[in-house]
Structure 1
Amino acid sequence: MIKLATTNIHKSIVMILETEYAPYFKQYLKLVTNEGKSIIENLEESQKEFDVVLRGLSVDKQNFSYADGKWSLKELIQHVIDTERVFCYRALCFARNDTTALPGFDQDIFVENSKTNSRVFNDVLDEMQIVRKGTIFLYKSFSKEALLRVGVASGNKMSVRALGYLFSGHQKHHLNIVKERYL
């Protein structure tokens, strides 16, 4: 179980049960635990930190890859964007009570076909900001009941609430990698 705050709808501390997410995602959810912050607060704060660290980097850093076969910094950001878009769709389906099991996605195929390295770095960062704003508005629209709904994606159960925290945890995870290996 992971202790987190709920969204701004309800500020009490809740427990996100291990049945609300696949075990793999615990590594991301742990990055936003014990802060007592809502989904919205986490989304806003993690995006702000992401932007502060990455805005204004030199062109050499923008196109840097720390090893052969590893993503460039632009591609890493695109991965965060693509993942958030895919997972927002999942959250929307689950919140709206769509019981259709959703497929997974291959992050490497997404990045390979994004052609992000030919894009302007600040455009990629701007896109991340816009996607995050959309996520925030989506989560502000969810009722308490919708946040507790669970659906299936990639063969695993996931709650709308867990997805809301997962966005920030996933972004923080990749920002930690950026700080360790790219800067």
Structure 2
Amino acid sequence: MNYTPKDGFPYYYALVRSTDCQTLFSSMSTFRFLQSIDEKKAAYRYEPDKWSIKQVVGHITDHERIKIFRAFLLSRKESVELWGYDQNSLVENSRFEEMTFQQLTTDFQNVRKGSISFLDGLSKSQLGIKGVANQFEITLEDFLKSIIGHEVHHINIIKERYF
């Protein structure tokens, strides 16, 4: 089945499903790519009503923060549905445009370090804990993979539409 970004979890998971979590979260390819973008380019929007690259990076970071918190709850067997959020509201109410691109990428790297620290503390059995995300029953491991799938989706968009 072919999923689209509107499908959320299954689409993002499908982008990375064959790679293990440790490899996905430890990869530096996104950060190397972001280092190649200067401040002027980071402010670019490919259409007036679309996010700038700075806003996209801020959004990716916010997404990981939110999803890791949810993954934490799931790992502790808190019975919560892994709910959605309004990404446009979060970006609109951010300071991403005021911040330097260096500040945004540093923040992203710091969030990733925290995510890796969390991941390092999980057991195999915790990775198998099941929860519900967007009406799909999933394991914690698959939920974690979808975080990186979301990142891959947005980095692909930057490469395709901003350059």
Distance 1:148 1:75 in 2: 33
State the secondary structure of the residue aligned to 2:147: helix
The answer as to 2:17 corresponding to 1:33 is: yes
Equivalent residue for 1:171, pick from 126, 151, 154: 151
Q: Structure 1 CA distance, aligned partners of 2:123 and 2:66?
A: 21
| 2:24 maps to which of 15, 39, 42 | 42
Structure 2: 5+ residue runs without aligned partners?
2-6
Report percent identity of matched pairs: 32
Shift of 1:102: 4.6
Output one character per residue of 1:78-126: Cα deviation in whole Å (capped at 9) or x when no partner.
1101111111111100110111335421010001111200001111001
* 1:131 and 2:111 are equivalent in the alignment: yes
Partner Cα separation in structure 2 for residue 24 and residue 125 of structure 1: 24
Considering only aligned residues, what root-mean-square deviation do their CA atoms show, in Å? 1.8
1:48-104 residue CA offsets vs partner (Å, 9 max, x unmatched): 111111114232211001112111101000110111111111110011011133542
8 Å Cα contact 1:74-1:124 kept in structure 2: yes
Question: C-alpha separation between the residues in 1 aligned to 2:140 and 2:17?
Answer: 17
Paired residues in the alignment total 158
Higher RCO (CA < 8 A, seq sep 6+) = 2
Deviations 1:17-62 (A, max 9, x none): xxxxxx532222222234xx320111111xx111111114232211
Q: Distance in 1 between matches of 2:136 and 2:85?
A: 13
TM-aligned CA distance change 1:29 to 1:155, over 3 Å:
closer
Matched, 1:75 2:55: yes
Q: Secondary structure at the match of 2:49?
A: coil
Superposition TM-score, scaled by structure 2 size = 0.88
Is 1:92 the counterpart of 2:72? The answer is yes
1:104 aligns with 2:65: no
TM-score (norm 1): 0.79
Aligned partner of residue 118 in structure 1, secondary structure: coil
Residue from 144, 148, 160 that aligns with 1:180: 160
Distance 1:42 1:102 in 2: 21
SS of match in other structure, 1:146: helix
- The equivalences for 1:60-71 within 5 A come to 60-71=40-51
- Pick from 109, 114, 117 the counterpart of residue 97 of structure 2: 117
Contact 2:9 2:143 in 1 (8 A): no
